[in-house]
Structure 1
Amino acid sequence: MDKKRTPRSTPSSSATQRGGPASARGGKPAPKAAPKAAPKTAPVRDTTLDGTPKTGGDRIAKVLARHGIASRRDAEKIISEGRVSVNGAVITSPALNVQAKDNIVVDGKLLGTPDVARLWLYHKPTGLVTSARDEKGRETVFDALPADLPRVMSVGRLDLNSEGLLLLTNDGDLKRRLELPSTGWLRKYRVRVKGNPSDADLEPLRQGVTIEGERFQPMTVSLDRHQGANAWLTISIREGKNREIRRALESIGVTVNRLLRVSYGPFRLGELREGEVEEVKTRVLRDQLGMSAEDVEALDDPADKPRRGVSRPGKPAPRKPFGAQASRERDAKPEFKSKGFRSHGGKPDGKGGKGGRALGFKSHAGPNGTGAQNRRDGKPKPRS
């Protein structure tokens, strides 16, 4: 009786057809397949300088932004250009976490302790470019700033022929946060236009217009009054596109001959004079942005702390007084009423009482270092 033979397993047809591991070309047995290598994992992005996983510290681009070197995005570009070194080693990738003990050098200059995040209100005049440098050699906003102001960046822009409120900060993260459309802050402008448009003529702006394929979000527009050959409008927007208001009005046949930004979210131009700079108190900044004490790094007003910024050599003299001199000049003026004033909170569009300033940004230094305050009846509060 024949013994039953154990059936041999044969390669599947699919494997044979595909030239899989069961056969090789020419009918020769295929060599044993090498063991599969473990899948490559993406490099750990949150690492320290020695490549170990993050246990503390911050990303290098975030640190540069906090020092006011550039916004986080621009800081990543600076890193990729090989302009940054950490503990003597040039880095080209932002995928690095650094500690407070690390020595960071940018363009040959050692970074010190970062300043507290600060914000200034600046009344930009016309004729200045909102850029660090201008290829046409025109004067920039930063050329006109007071020489004793620390290194700052602008929050957004105002074009050459526009004027009014421009926010300045020494912190790249704060700059980015204030510029994001998701912040949702209204930017309000007083606009003088040529001619006498009717309210109906402005309706397309309220609905939103499309210019050369670019969609502009609906604007809040009011026709305030006619004045001779011109008319005054108030326009509020939440975007920050290049020349947005001018282009939108041009699309309906209306020409702008003056554009003045009067508020940016809760921050208002108020009585700030052309070319003048005024610092926002730290507690106000913290309250308005919902920043923690750790984010701001201080609870006291920046004016009460010694300024860490170094005067920039070769800067022109300030157009307007800044600091104590400006405060003395303003103290000599009668105090205005601050009806509707609140030290924090307030309406998002910066509305307040007639003649009042937004959120108490005016800082009149008193003998004890605190700002002068008004009583509710509008009269100056006697100093103790």
Structure 2
Amino acid sequence: MSDSAEGVRLQKVLANAGVASRRVSEQLIVEGRVRVNGEVVSELGSRIDPATDLVDVDGQAVQLDTSKRYVLLNKPTGVVSTMRDDRGRRDLTEFVRDFDERLYNVGRLDAETSGLLVLTNDGELANVLAHPRYGVTKVYIARVTGEVQPKTLATLTRGIELEDGPIRADKARILDTSRGSSLVELTLHSGRNRIVRRMMAAVGHPVTELVRRQFGPLHLGTLQAGRVRELDKVERGALLTLSRQAAADAPGDKEAS
């Protein structure tokens, strides 16, 4: 936190970030609900450097760097998760044309899988979301062949062996069973390639349709396939909070981004 008079008053920074009005921001500070670089700041005259200082309110990170963009895409099937495909397949470029920033996808969904994909120009955040070290959870809904039994779910959560090592679902539940197929919800923190398809095939229920509904704190909601939207203030705060917590948990093991 800057001690010089050249910094910006904290309540002004909060107001500019859309946290609250200047007056309400002052009240938040006085009540001890605002931290700068992990330290509670309750003095109204405090000044900070928005370019380098990290601010949170009630434990929720506040985005101060307005150059960072965070976008949620409901990726349709038939689209590969890359910004440029050298084989001429449909890629992600069509979904980022309206943004001035150069956005990149966080992780991948295979071409046959639809659902939630995050696009951003925040490399540090992208590293946290995509790296298996941080264990960010993902929730998938899979239509599979055959009628899945509860004992199969128990096998998935207990763990199975694949060609690239053991894997288990954090959670698994049956949503529907009808006409020789089942709808299954799987929660995983693994980012391994085509992991849901391989897991379900291994227990005898190949996937016919797959959608990712949740990625960390983000939910697909009612966003239609092929549509994008920018994350709202609460969603951005949740992502940044996750990113900062991960950095704090592994201070000497953070990858460059």
TM-score in same-fold range (> 0.5): yes
2:229 equivalent in structure 1 = 278
Within 1, Cα distance between the matches of 2:226 and 2:149?
34
Amino acid corresponding to residue 177 of structure 2 in structure 1: H
Alignment deviations for residues 106-130 of structure 1 (CA, whole Å, 9 cap, x no partner): xxxxxxxx96222111110000000
Deviation at 1:133, TM superposition (A): 2.3
- Say if 1:212 and 1:268 are closer, same or farther in 2 by CA, change over 3 A: same
Letter aligned with residue 262 of structure 1: R
Q: What does residue 145 of structure 2 align with?
A: 194
2:222 counterpart SS class = coil
2:68–2:122: 8 Å Cα contact kept in structure 1? yes
Matches within 5 A, 1:59-138: 116-138=67-89
How many residues are aligned here? 181
Relative to structure 1, the CA distance from residue 163 to residue 149 in structure 2 (aligned partners, 3 Å threshold; closer, same or farther) is farther
- Which residue matches 1:24? none
- Matched residues in 1 for 2:112 and 2:242: separation? 34
The structure that has the greater radius of gyration is: 1
1:148-205 deviation per Cα after TM superposition (whole angstroms, max 9, x unaligned): 4531111111100000111110121121121123433320011110111211123221
SS of residue matched to 1:290: helix
Percent identity of the aligned residues? 32
Are 1:258 and 2:209 matched, yes or no? yes
1:169 aligns with 2:95: no
Change (3 A) 1:182 1:141: same
Q: Is the 8 A contact 2:144 2:208 kept in 1?
A: yes
State the partner residue of 1:16.
none
Q: CA deviation at 1:230?
A: 1.4
d(CA) in 2 for partners of 1:185, 1:171: 17
* Distance of 1:206 and 1:255 partners within structure 2: 17
Question: Which piece of structure 1 moves more, 210-219 or 262-271?
Answer: 210-219
Name the SS of the counterpart of 2:176 in structure 1. strand
Residue 141 of structure 1: which of 92, 100, 104 is its match? 92
> What residue ranges of structure 2 are gaps of 5+ in the alignment?
1-50, 52-64, 244-257
Could you say which residue in structure 2 is the equivalent of 1:181? 132
Residue pairs, 1:228-307, within 5 angstroms: 228-282=179-233, 284-290=235-241
Partner of residue 57, structure 2:
none
SS at match of 2:172: strand
Q: Which amino acid counterpart does residue 242 of structure 1 have in structure 2?
A: N
Q: Which one has a larger percent strand, Structure 1 or Structure 2?
A: 2
1:234 and 1:115, CA in 2 relative to 1: closer, same or farther beyond 3 A? same
Cα distance change of structure 1 residues 225 and 280 upon mapping to structure 2, 3 Å threshold: same
1:131 Cα deviation (Å)? Answer: 1.2
TM normalised by structure 2 equals 0.64
Structure 1 residues 268, 210: CA separation in 2 closer, same or farther (over 3 Å shift)?
A: same
1:208 to 117, 134, 159: 159
Alpha-carbon separation, structure 1, partners of 2:119 and 2:164: 32
Distance 1:223 1:182 in 2: 28
Give yes or no for the alignment of 1:151 onto 2:132: no
Assess if the C-alpha contact under 8 Å between 1:117 and 1:174 holds in 2. no
**Runs of 4+ deviating beyond 3 Å:** 143-149
Secondary structure in 2 matching 1:132: coil
2:112 partner amino acid: N
Shift of 1:218: 3.5
Larger RCO of the pair (alpha carbons < 8 Å, separation 6+): 2
Counterpart pick for 1:227 among 155, 166, 178: 178
- Go from structure 1 to structure 2 and tell me whether the alpha carbon gap of 1:171 and 1:165 turns closer, same or farther (over 3 Å shift): same
Query: Within 1, Cα distance between the matches of 2:95 and 2:228?
Result: 11
For residues 232-290 of structure 1, what are the alpha-carbon distances to aligned partners after superposition, in whole Å with 9 as ceiling and x for unaligned? Answer: 00000011100000001111111100101111111000011111111113454134432
**Matching residue's letter, 1:281:** D
> Partners in 1 of 2:186 and 2:234 — Cα distance?
29
Gaps of 5+ in 1: 1-99, 101-113, 293-384
Letter in 1 for 2:141: R
Letter in 2 for 1:212: E
